[in-house]
C-alpha cells in the first residue's frame, strides 16, 4: 500500500480559515496527476497551528474526497501520548488507511520512552502506524535498534525517515526487515533513498509538481534510475528553492503561482521574502511548470 509519491498535503486557508473547497479540489488534482497517496495534517499541513477541531476536519475531508482511490496516511503526532491516541482513533473512525506519528518533540524522551509511546499508540486502536523520524524538528532520534524493536509490533508498518542519512535505510533493513516500508521524508535525497532500499517519499515538492515527483518514484521502483535522475535534475532547483525558507511557505507560494491555492500561512510563519520568491519562480521554470 505504501509505495511511491505521497504529497505532504498543504492546508489551504482563506482569510484565516480553512478553505475546504480548495482542499477537495487539490485531492482530486493529486489523484489525476498520479500521486500514490496523501498525507494530510503533517508539518506541511501546518498542524502546529491548526486547532484540534480543524485537524480532525481536514483528515475527515481528505479521506472523504479521496474516496478510497488512493490511501490516506493521516498526521496524528503529538508529544502528548494521550492526545496522539485520540488523533489516531479519530483518523481510524473516518476511514484513514494509516497514521503518521512523529517522535515526541520538545520533551526529549529516551529510547525507552519512544518504545513506550509508540507501543501505547499501537495498542490504542487498529490503525497502522508509520513512524516519523525527524531529529531536526523533534530533537530526538529513534535509533535503528529501537525501530527494529517497534517493527515487531504488527501495526507498526514503516517509517518516514527525514534524517538525511541514506545509510540509515540499510541499517533499518537489518533491524526492521525488508518488508518494513521505508519512505523518504526529504525531497532532495529521495532518488538515492530508494536506491538504498526505500520505496517512496512523503514529499513537500509534490504539492506543486505531483506528476514529476510520482514519475521519479515510479522509475526508481522499476529500477530505471537513469530516467529518475533526469527528472530529479529538473526538480532539484525547485526542491532547494522551496526549502530556502520553511517548506510550507515556499510550496504554498509556488502553488499560488500556478493558481492552485493562496500562499496564506498562519503565524508564526510569514510570507515568502522577495529574493526567495525569485528562487522559487526560477525553480518552477527549470522544472517546466512556469513559462
Q: Which residues are annotated as a binding site for pyruvate?
A: 44, 202
Question: Does residue 105 carry a catalytic annotation?
Answer: no
Number of H helices, E strands in the chain: 12, 9
Q: How far apart are CA 44 and CA 151, in angstroms?
A: 26
Sheet containing 156-161: order of strands: 4-7, 200-203, 181-184, 156-161, 129-133, 98-102, 73-75
Backbone angle region of 197, left / alpha / beta, with phi > 0 → left and psi within -120 to 50 → alpha:
left
The answer to whether the CB of 204 falls within 8 A of the CB of 254 is no
**Cβ-proximal residues to 126 (8 Å cutoff; 6+ apart), any chain:** 92, 155
Question: Does residue 160 carry a catalytic annotation?
Answer: yes
Q: What is the DSSP string of 235-286?
A: HHHHHHHHTSS-HHHHHHHHHHHTTSS-----TTS-PPPHHHHHHHHHHHHH
Among the options 3, 24, 25, 132, which is catalytic?
Answer: 132
Among the options 3, 24, 152, 160, which is catalytic?
Answer: 160
In angstroms, the Cα distances linking 93 to 35, 114, 211 are 24, 25, 30
Phi, psi (degrees; rounded to nearest 5) at 5: -100, 125
- CA-nearest of 204, 226, 187 to 9 is 204
Sequence ranges of the binding site = 44, 202
Active site residues: 132, 160
Amino acid at each position: 500500500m505504501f509505495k511511491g509519491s505521497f504529497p505532504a498535503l498543504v492546508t489551504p486557508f482563506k482569510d484565516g480559515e480553512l478553505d475546504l473547497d480548495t482542499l477537495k479540489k487539490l485531492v482530486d488534482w493529486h489523484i489525476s496527476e498520479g500521486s500514490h497517496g496523501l498525507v494530510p495534517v503533517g508539518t506541511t499541513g501546518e498542524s502546529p497551528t491548526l486547532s484540534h477541531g480543524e485537524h480532525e476536519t481536514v483528515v475527515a475531508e481528505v479521506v472523504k474526497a479521496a474516496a478510497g482511490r488512493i490511501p490516506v496516511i493521516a498526521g496524528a503526532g503529538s508529544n502528548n501520548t494521550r492526545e496522539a491516541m485520540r488523533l489516531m482513533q479519530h483518523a481510524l473512525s473516518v476511514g484513514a488507511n494509516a497514521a503518521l506519528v512523529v517522535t515526541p518533540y520538545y520533551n526529549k524522551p529516551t529510547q525507552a520512552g519512544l518504545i513506550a509511546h509508540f507501543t501505547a499508540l499501537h495498542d490504542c486502536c487498529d490503525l497502522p502506524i508509520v513512524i516519523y523520524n525527524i531529529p531536526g524538528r523533534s530533537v530526538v532520534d529513534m535509533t535503528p535498534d529501537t525501530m527494529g524493536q517497534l517493527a515487531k509490533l504488527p501495526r507498526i508498518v514503516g517509517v518516514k525517515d527525514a534524517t538525511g542519512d541514506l545509510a540509515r535505510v540499510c541499517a533499518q533493513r537489518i533491524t526492521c526487515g525488508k518488508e518494513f516500508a521505508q519512505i523518504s521524508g526529504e525531497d532532495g535525497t529521495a532518488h538515492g533513498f530508494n536506491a538504498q532500499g526505500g520505496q517512496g517519499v512523503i514529499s513537500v515538492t509534490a504539492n506543486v509538481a505531483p506528476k514529476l515527483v510520482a514519475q521519479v518514484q515510479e522509475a526508481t521502483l522499476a529500477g530505471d534510475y537513469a530516467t529518475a535522475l533526469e527528472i530529479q535534475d529538473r526538480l532539484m532547483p525547485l526542491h532547494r528553492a522551496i526549502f530556502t525558507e520553511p517548506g510550507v511557505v515556499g510550496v504554498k507560494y509556488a502553488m499560488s503561482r500556478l493558481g492552485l491555492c493562496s500562499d496564506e500561512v498562519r503565524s508564526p510563519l510569514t510570507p515568502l521574502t522577495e529574493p526567495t520568491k525569485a528562487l522559487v519562480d526560477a525553480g518552477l521554470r527549470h522544472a517546466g511548470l512556469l513559462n
